[in-house]
Every structure is written in structure tokens, then in C-alpha cells.
Amino acid sequence: MLSIMSSITAKSSATSYRLRYRLREVTFFFALAASPLAASFGVYANNQSRLPLSTFGVVGRSSSPLSSNSISVKATRLSTDSATSTEQAQDSGAMTSSKTSASKLELLRARMEELSLDCYLVPTDDPHLSEYAPAAYMRRKFLTGFGGSAGTALITKEEALLWTDSRYWNEANMQLDSSLWSLIKQGQPKVPTIVEYLSKKAGKEQEAATTNGHKAEVKPLRVGIDPYVFASSFADEFKEGMKKVAKEELDDESLEIGELVPCYDNLVDPIWEDERPPVPYNPFRVHPLEFAGVSVADKVSKIREEMETKKATMAVFCTLDDVAYLLNVRCMGDVDTCPVGIAYVTVTKDDVYLYCDERKVESADVQEHLSEVTMKPYESIVEDIKEHANEKDSNNKVWIDKSRSNLALVSVIPKKALINSQNAITPMKACKNEQELEGMRRAHIVDGAAMAKFIAWLEDKVVVQGESVSEVEIDEVLTAYRAEQPGFLECSFPTIAGVGSNAAIIHYSAKPGDLMKYLNTSEPILIDSGGQYTYGTTDVTRTWHFGTATDRFKEIFTRVLKGNIGVDTMIFPENTPGFVLDVMARQSLWEGELDYGHGTGHGVGAALNVHEGPMSISPRFGNLEGLKNGMVVSNEPGYYKDGAFGIRIENLLEMQYVNPEHNEPKEESETSAEKKYLKFAKLTLIPIQKNLIDLELMTTKELDWLDAYHEVVFEKVSPLLEAGSPAMKWLKKSCEKIDRGPN
């Protein structure tokens, strides 16, 4: 549980230091004046009549770091001993509670009533908008019981709703208390987004107030949020959604029908109480240049070049992988499966500031590595941004990506000082340099060796010994084989090992209990897993059946494989958006009147997060980000039959120029303006089960692709296996040319 420090913020100018705290006492500020965020949405104090903008208040902590006019209070730095990792926090009961689901909602609604809130939103996000949040920020999971990594809860006076996408519908149906919660299947036709739902709700309340042509005064719908865990772009969407309904349905665009109410004291935390795990503060480690490829100084120089082009005087980086990438540091334990640490970074013309807890930078090697970086308290970033953006007689401009930054950071920047666009790190991080790519290639070779040992073990257990193996044991043994490999740190995401019908739960995670199944020869298994190594990140999915598969299963498996090959073999112009490639993954499935509800591919970080943007391969036309040389993406078509099985085949792919000469920098000329084309090079080195393939559906070219792939797998992985070992025997057999039958 956060201490009282969560409601106070350190005065940044009093506590700046280079890589170590100079003081054990820090000057804190209790903020008294109005928040710019509150003013921007017309928030007014609890149960008070509407006041002039200059006196608007906010709900929650009176010491919000978004406010001005403060008095200093001397306070000794409090002890915040935390669990060393999210995993430890979860082991200590992070997601368990003595309260029932009903009592949690009752307590939350009571607090909403005290604050005159009509609705309250609880997202998945932490202050850094992380996909996988530390346990301390898993408020939505605590409140709803739903454990998926994506979803937002909306609580009104009468309803409790959860929005999540198709990957998690089965999981949500099983985990939500249906007597209390309703699942909203995000992305389905005619299913409203959260903003659309709130806008319609606000509009209906305004319409209901009209009687016999006379309209009673109705207050705007008050929607409470914690501004630290919502992207700034959400506020823009909310405002536009309300304006649209007011214009189209109420014929009055100026009518204020809804408002966001920033609640700086998160309303879930008092309900969680002592059961809430502590925020982790694990130390950074240096990510060496041999793996990073580019120094911190060179990355900062590139950012400053971009800042000069945009006329920015400060660049703000909120997401944890941006911080880790820029500073060439990694961390274990803050966020399970992600080698990142809780921190922010800002870059100005002369300085680089790292905002984090002091315990993260105590080691001598990290201090030396970051000797040109100024360390500041984590809590002081908002005040620093505000001070820079509002400096008198300056033309300061703050460059921040609103879609990747929390609302609390953005709201203190006046519109005239705000530059909102994709930050400079995003494209740098997405296009890997040669050292990063070499690390990724190396990681996939050792990962292939681990998988060969694992599948040889699993096949022997199930087929030869005739045993049934639990999904949990499968996860544990696979992780143990990975842990034998040099440089292995942890899994790159929670392993998905789904037997039979559990494989249809796209992001299923096995745990002892009613859902857990045992693998034998009667059912298939889908295993989606990966590893974090000091030099690279892996992510692979394979579907196996150690018994006799039905013809229908083989047909669908083959169509999924054909989709994988379809993407893999494409040649396309550089900067082609990913949605153009997506159809190749689905073509054969569509021919069989089949489809899948998730994207085909996501970006992957180099010794970083397994999910990385900005690129993707999916049917979403809205993502126009072009694919570029050096990017790494997944290729993972699939098919899922509820209550029966799931099939997915996933490889990671590296984008390369078709013409190697394009890798060499050239002076501008007519020839250098020619269009450049890209191809994919396979990173994943794990065989595909051949006896699940319906040969009649495969073309000669596709069978040639499979044989060539298996030849490369054996060539690269076999040197890591002991001659005559079960793993070597399995790999050799699995990589033999496929029997194509009579000519």
C-alpha cells in the first residue's frame, strides 16, 4: 500500500542530484490552488455550486502535483520497503481479498456518492500505460476478478460493466461474477466504445429532463478517473464524444452534457487497503553496448536533433520501455516478464533527467553509466513539466506523445506550449540496429534448443510412457529448459499452455484448479511462450497433437500454416502499412469460411517488451505505420473453436531489404530515390508438426518452404544439442523433409 507520500510531491529544485540523493529530508508541498486539468473539463468541488474557473477544485488529494501556489512542509523521507518483485507481491496475496465482489462495488459506490460521481472508470493501466502492470496497479483485476491484460471497468450507480477484446471474452465470462458484472464485447458490430456508451448515457439523461417542451436543468454526467492511469488522448476522445452527441442528438453543440472528474486519490485503493502490494523499486542494471548497439549519448543527440526540428525545448518519455531503451538500462522485478523499471525521463537542450526511486540507481556501475544524467525524485516530474511549460517570458515547448503519456503529465502543459506527436524514441526502438538484431538471432537459436529438449521430453511422457501431464507442469518444465540457456532471465510473458478447449481461450494461463487440464494423446495442445535473455527476446507459438487428429483439425491446422507462409513469403515496398499484409494470413482460412479475432502480428522489442509498437499486422485500417527495415514482428494466424480447441502457429520475423545494397548509406541522387522493397527473415527456429498437415491443401511452393525452413532449423539448433540425446533425435526427425507421397 502506498504511504502518505502518494499525496505529496517533492519540490524538484530542492532535490536535484546526480545519481544519488544528497538529502534524507525532502521539502514537500501541499498544493492549494486549482488544477489546470480541472479547469479544462469544468470540474467543480464536491457538492458545491458551480464556481468561476479560477476557484475550481478537484476530487481527491488536496496536494495534487498538478496545482500551483503551495506552501512547503519539511518532512522526513518515509520508509517504503517493498517487495522485490511483482511476483513476490502476488505471492503475498496481491490479488486475494477478504472482501466479496459485491462488497467492493458497494464500498466504491458509497465513495462515488460522497464525491457526486455518476460513473467511475477503472482501467488496466499504471502511470506508464504499461501492458503488464506491476501488481500494485492491478486495480481492475482486484475489483472485477478478471485477470486479462486488457480491459476497462465502468461502474455506475446501477451497473458494473467490463470492456475487453475478443482475446479475453472466454476468460472474462469465466472469471466475472455475472450477477454483478456485464461483459461488453469490445470490437463487435454495434457494440459501443466506452466513450460512446458514456456519451449516449449523458445524452439520454439530458433528453429525459425535457417534459412538454420544457427542459429542466440537468447537471453534466460526472465521470471520475484517476488521471495518472489514463492516456491523455482519452480526455480528447471523451470531450469529442460528448460534443458529438450534444450536436447530433440534442441540437446544441455547446451543451455540456458530460465532464471528466480527476480523482487524484484513486477510489479503489482504500477498498484494497493493506492487501494492496507495495510499489516495487528494484535496481536498474546496465544494458551493455555490445547488445544495445548505440550509446546513450548518441540516442540523446538524435532526440535533440528531432527536438530542434520541432522547436521543442523539452521532450517527455512516460513509457517504461522508452526509458529503458534510451538509457540502455534494464530491470528485473518491477514488471513481471518485462525487463523495465518504474521511471520517467525528460530531455532538454542541456540535460537529461531520470525520475525514479533512489534505490534503482545505487550500484556503482549504474551510477558510472548514468554519470551524465541528473536524477530526480519520481514524484517531481509533473511539477517540473509544469514549471518548464509555464516559464515566464520564454517560448518553451514540450514535446509529448499524448497517446503514450498519462493525463496528469499532459494536463499541466498549456496548449500553446504543447507539441503532440509520436516521440523520437518510438521509431528508433522499432528499427533494430545490427547489434540488437544479432542478439535477437542468438536468442532464438538458444530458445530453439530449449524447445527441442522440452518437446522431446513432452512427447516421451505422453506417447512413450502414456502419462498425462498437467498444463501447469508443462509450463514449469518448459521454463526450466529455457533457464538452462546462457543469458536467460525470465519468461517474456506468462506462458499459455492450453489443452483442448483451454486453447480456445486466447490468453489462457494455467493455474491449479477446475480449469486446468491434462495433456494425453486424445487432445491437442497450444503452447505460446517466450524468453527474456540478456541479449534478446523470443515469442513462439506451436500447436501439437500426440495422438490421432481428425481430418477437420488437420484441415484447419493446414489453413493456419498456409496463412503463416503467406505472410512470411511476401515482398513489399518499405513503409507499407501492416494491414496490407494481414489478408495474406487470412486468405486460406477465409476460403474455408473461417477467421480469427486478433491481429496477425505485433512488434517485438530487443531485450525489451515482447509487445512493441508502433507497427502491427492486423485488419485495423487505422494503423498506418509503415513497415521498415530492421523491424521485428510476429506472424501468428490462428483459429479457435469455443469448447473444443485452438490452433496458432507463430514465428518472429526480421525485416530486411531485398537488395542488400540498400543497407549502405548513399548520397542523394536519382538512383537513391528508387523504391526499396522488404522481405522477411525468420528468427524462430522450432519445427512445425508435419503429420498435422493436409498435403492436398498445400502447394508445391509451400511444401518447399516448409522443407527449407526445417533445414535451417536443424542447421542452427543441432550444434547446441548433444549427439544421440532425445532432443537431438527429436529435432532430426522433426526436420526431415516432408513425405509428399506418390508423385
> Which helix H or strand E contains 529, and what residues bound it?
strand 525-529
Task: Spell out the residues 6+ positions from residue 582 whose beta carbon is closer than 8 angstroms to its own.
Answer: 599, 600, 617, 618, 619
Least confident of 503-507, 522-526, 571-575, 711-715: 503-507
User: Taking residues 334-355, what's their average pLDDT?
Assistant: 98
State which amino acid sits at residue 476: E
Position 248 confidence tier, pLDDT thresholds 50, 70, 90: confident
Residue 274 confidence (pLDDT) = 87
- For 374-387, what is the mean pLDDT? 97
Predicted pLDDT of residue 743: 61
Report domain 434-661+674-707's class. alpha beta
Among the listed residues 632, 693, 281, the one whose alpha carbon sits nearest the alpha carbon of residue 436:
632
Phi, psi of 401 (to 5 degrees): -90, 105
Checking if the pLDDT of 13 tops 50, the result is no
Among the residue ranges 30-44, 122-136, 692-706, the one predicted with the least confidence is 30-44
219 confidence band (pLDDT: 50, 70, 90): confident
- Tell me the pLDDT band of 54, cut-offs 50, 70 and 90: very low
Q: CA angle 707-708-710, nearest 5°? A: 65
Confidence grade of residue 149 (pLDDT, cut at 50, 70, 90) = confident
Cis peptide before 614 (omega within 30 of 0): yes
What pLDDT does residue 9 have? 30
**C-alpha distances out from residue 180 to 30, 40, 122, 273, 693, Å:** 39, 34, 16, 22, 45
User: Please, what is the average pLDDT of the chain?
Assistant: 86
| 35 SS3 class | coil
DSSP assignment of 40-98 equals HHT---TT-----GGG---BS-TT-TT--SEEEEEEEPPP----SSHHHHHHTTTT--S
Q: Are 497 and 525 in contact (CB under 8 A)?
A: yes
**Mean pLDDT value across residues 74-103:** 47
Query: Using CA atoms, how far apart are residues 516 and 613, in angstroms rounded to an integer?
Result: 33
HSE of 16, CA atoms in CB hemisphere, 13 A: 10
C-alpha cell at 44: 467543480
When pLDDT is averaged across residues 171-195 and rounded to a whole number, the result is: 93
Can you tell me the distance from the alpha carbon of 399 to that of 397, in angstroms, rounded to the nearest whole number? 7
**Close Cβ partners of 125 (under 8 Å, ≥ 6 residues apart):** 133, 137, 229, 230, 231, 406
pLDDT tens for each residue of 223-240: 999 999 999 989 999 999
Which one is the CATH code of 101-275: 1.20.1300.10, 3.40.50.2300, 1.10.3720.10, 3.40.350.10?
3.40.350.10
Give the start-to-end residue ranges of the domains of the chain: 101-275, 284-421, 434-661+674-707
Residue 733, C-beta contacts closer than 8 angstroms, at least 6 positions apart: none
Instruction: Write down the pTM of the prediction.
Output: 0.83
Q: What is the mean pLDDT of residues 645-654?
A: 99
Same fold flag, 284-421 and 434-661+674-707: no
How far apart, in Å, do the first and last CA atoms of the chain sit? 69
The tens digit of pLDDT for each residue in 454-480 reads 999 999 999 999 999 999 999 999 999
Q: Lowest mean pLDDT of 3-7, 17-21, 521-525, name the range.
A: 3-7
CATH 3.40.350.10 assigned to 284-421: yes
The reported pLDDT for the residue numbered 509 is 86
Higher pLDDT, 508 or 377: 377
Q: What pLDDT score was predicted for residue 250?
A: 82
The beta-strand segments (E) located in 131-262 are: 152-156, 160-164, 182-185, 210-211, 214-215, 221-225, 258-262
The pLDDT of 162-166, averaged and rounded, is 93
- CA dist., res. 130 & res. 195, Å (int): 21
Backbone angles phi, psi at 50, to 5 degrees: -65, 135
Cβ distance 391 to 417 under 8 Å? no
- Using DSSP, state whether 562 is helix, strand or coil: helix
Cβ atoms 10, 358 nearer than 8 A: no
pLDDT of residue 215: 61
